Each structure stands twice: as structure tokens, then as C-alpha cells.
Amino acid sequence: MPADSRYITATLTDLVRTKSINPAFADGDTSDERAIATRAGEMMRALGMETTEYEPEPGRVSVVGRLRGTGGGRSLMLYGHIDTVGITAMPEPFSATVRDGKLYGRGAYDMKGGVTACLATVKALRDAGASLRGDVLIACVADEEVASIGMAEVLRHVRADAAIVTEATELRVSLAHRGFSWIEVETLGLAAHGSRYDLGIDANMRMGRFLARLDKLEQELRARPRHALVGPPSLHAAVLRGGTGTSTYADHCRLEIERRTVPGETEAQVLSEIRAITDALAAEDPTFKANVRAMLTRGSFEVRRDAPIVNAILSAATTVLGKQPEIIGEPYWMDAALLSDVGIDTVVIGPVGAGAHALEEWVSLDSVVKLTDILTRAATEFCA
């Protein structure tokens, strides 16, 4: 059941030309995921799928299609997000021009190429008259680029026995990614006239003490044993703000830390490492006062090597590519963590390309064809 490459080019062209900029990146323009979710839903129904839309906020539409199996088999969800980042200063965001086997446009690589492969997989199964016992689902979700309200809403209603996330991996198989916690640290001082050293407590100087220890922690993190697929944890002092005027002692100083986590690390653990620093500084100097709180945490993701979906993808990719695919982990966060958080075994494999979030973005059409062949084989084995 080979992939239909003409269907792939036509579908990807259609999706790239359908504007779906996440409102957070719309830059004064109006945009959301309604038009593309409608279009994807039409494409799914044309393939014999039943569709349901989810709209947790107006215009923020996700659509899930289901190709019903004959019953008694395992269900598989193919995943792609349908929002894109912005297009400011992009020369040809919606052209979908093809040159040298590369299709250009915003979202071609991140990740309408993956979405196209999901649709083309169901087309290949239908064309071949495959009769699977399990259901094959396609989840086209909104808002992955910002807060994942689309996938969060879908997972309130939909479950599957396994999932394949088709974010771009250059046809390598990703089995893990890092998570992150955003942590706020505030040091407290006492405002006073700049001449009154006897009254003022300098919150900025106290933040300096904290930052010196944080710098040590950062180096220590990277010396910890590396996770086999995603490397060591890390952190950076991302935003720093303190003081109101040159002639005033700063009464507070606020820092936002981004701490990147590896599989196995929890928010509580990460917070306690930061609090150990503020506690030690307070013990050394009673005028040192600080508050530490978590602003947002997104978990890491890792799937066990012996999960059936991992076997299905590895053997399908080996057949299609003619060699064992490279197994990797990703440094950045994706919706795979939300799937694994609710107990769905998930793997990530996506097409070849370049330019996610950049001025020129393209995806290799040949890689979308190969990805479709891999997904079709994996679905046939997993849902048999």
C-alpha cells in the first residue's frame, strides 16, 4: 500500500495556503485555527473518517478523525498541530512553491508536512482496502506553539492505545524530550533614600548573591550524569528586573529562571534545589529575604523501549528506509508529554526539512512520502 505522492503534494499545498497563525503570533492580523480545522475535517471525511471538533476558546478549533476498525484491535492516534508561528518579513509564507523537491511556506516543516502524512496514511490504508481491527485516529490540534489548549482539550475527550507524533525529526525516531519549569525568584529589600545606607536594604545586591550560587548550580547540573537521549538538565537566568531609581535602594528584585528538565525530574525537585540556595543565604544573613515559586511546568517525555508502538515504528522505518533508523531525544518540549502524561505510549517521527520559526521554511516532499509509508506499515501492524 504505497503512499500517493500526488495526493501528498496537493494536500500539503492546500494546508500551507490555509493561513493558521497562532493568534499569539498574528502581529495585528486576525488568525486562528478555525479555517484549517474545517479544511482538515473535510479531508478526513473524504477519507471515510468520522470527525469531531473541539473548541475550548472561540476560533481555537482542533479536529479529530476516526477511521473505524472492525473491532477488538488496538487504536492508534496520529498527531499533528495545525497552528503555525508568525510570518513577519517572510518572503513567501503561503506560496507552497515546489523547488528541487522541497515545498516552501510557513508551516510546511512545522508541521503541515506531518499532518499531510497522517492524512495520506489513512488514504493509503483505504486505497489498499486494509481491514484493521483497531481504530486509526488523526488529531489535528490547535495552539501547540503557545499553551497547548488544543491537545489538552482533545485529551479530555479522546483516548487511544498509542500515538505517533509527526513533528519533524528528519525521519529519525525520537523516544524522549526534555520538559521545563519557569520559576520566579524575588529578593526583598527595603526602599530608602540613596544616602541612607543605615536604613536601606538592597534587594539587587541580594539577588547578586543568589545569582552567584545559581551560576554554580547551573554548572553542577551540566556535570550530572547525562540522560542517554536528551543530555543533561540546564537552566538560565532569563529575565531580571529590580530597582525604581538611581537614588533609591531597590526594595525588590525579580528573576525568572527557565529550568530545562530531563525525564525523571519533577517540579518539586527543581524547586527544592532553588530553595536550598535561598535558605542557605538567609541562614548566613538575616536581612536576606526571598520568595520562590513555580510559574509554569511542562513535563518531560520518555517512552519505554519495549512498548509495542516503538517496535512497530522501528520495524516499519527499518523496512522503508532500508536501514535501522537513528534513535534520538529532543531538547525541546512538545505535545508528546501530554500524551504520555495520560498513559498513552507515544513515539515521535517526522519529515526532513528546515526553517521552523525562520524566514524560509521548507519540507522535503520525498520525506513526507517515506513518512507516510512508515506510518502506514506501523498502523497496519499495530491495529491489525
Q: Which residues bind Zn ion (CB under 5 A)?
A: 110-111, 167
Choice between 114 and 189, CB closer to Zn ion: 114
Choice between 200 and 350, CB closer to Zn ion: 350
Report which of 135, 131, 157 is spatially closest to residue 76, judged by C-alpha positions.
Answer: 135
Closest distance to Zn ion from the beta carbon of 18 (Å)? 16
Closest distance to Zn ion from the beta carbon of 182 (Å)? 20
Contact (CB, 8 A) for 76 and 376: no
Choice between 39 and 81, CB closer to Zn ion: 81
> And the C-alpha cell for 183?
520559576
- Per DSSP, the three-state class of 90 is coil
Choice between 75 and 148, CB closer to Zn ion: 148
Question: Which DSSP category does 248 fall into?
Answer: B
| Alpha-carbon torsion angle 376, 377, 383, 384, nearest 10 | 130
Closest distance to Zn ion from the beta carbon of 263 (Å)? 20
Closest distance to Zn ion from the beta carbon of 167 (Å)? 5
Indicate the helix (H) or strand (E) that contains 52: strand 50-54
Contact (CB, 8 A) for 171 and 277: no
**Cross-strand bridge partners of residue 182:** 258, 296
> And the C-alpha cell for 120?
495520506
Edge-first strand order for the sheet with 179-188 is 234-242, 252-261, 179-188, 289-298
Closest distance to Zn ion from the beta carbon of 354 (Å)? 13
Choice between 110 and 373, CB closer to Zn ion: 110
Give the separation between CA 6 and CA 154, rounded to whole angstroms. Answer: 30
Choice between 37 and 214, CB closer to Zn ion: 37
Taking residue 256's Cβ as centre, other Cβ atoms within 10 Å add up to 15
Closest distance to Zn ion from the beta carbon of 334 (Å)? 7
Choice between 110 and 161, CB closer to Zn ion: 110
User: How many alpha carbons fall within 13 Å on the CB side of residue 74?
Assistant: 18
Which phi and psi (to 5°) does residue 243 adopt? 95, 155
Residues 6+ away with beta carbon under 8 Å from 170: 350, 351, 352, 367
Closest distance to Zn ion from the beta carbon of 188 (Å)? 40
> And the C-alpha cell for 372?
507516510
Widest CA span in the chain: 84
> Given the C-alpha cell 517572510, which residue does it identify?
90
Chain CA centroid to CA 8, Å: 24
Closest distance to Zn ion from the beta carbon of 224 (Å)? 28
Choice between 55 and 167, CB closer to Zn ion: 167
Nearest-CB residue to Zn ion?
110
Residue type, 287: T
Give the separation between CA 7 and CA 218, rounded to whole angstroms. Answer: 49
Closest distance to Zn ion from the beta carbon of 383 (Å)? 25
Choice between 47 and 141, CB closer to Zn ion: 141
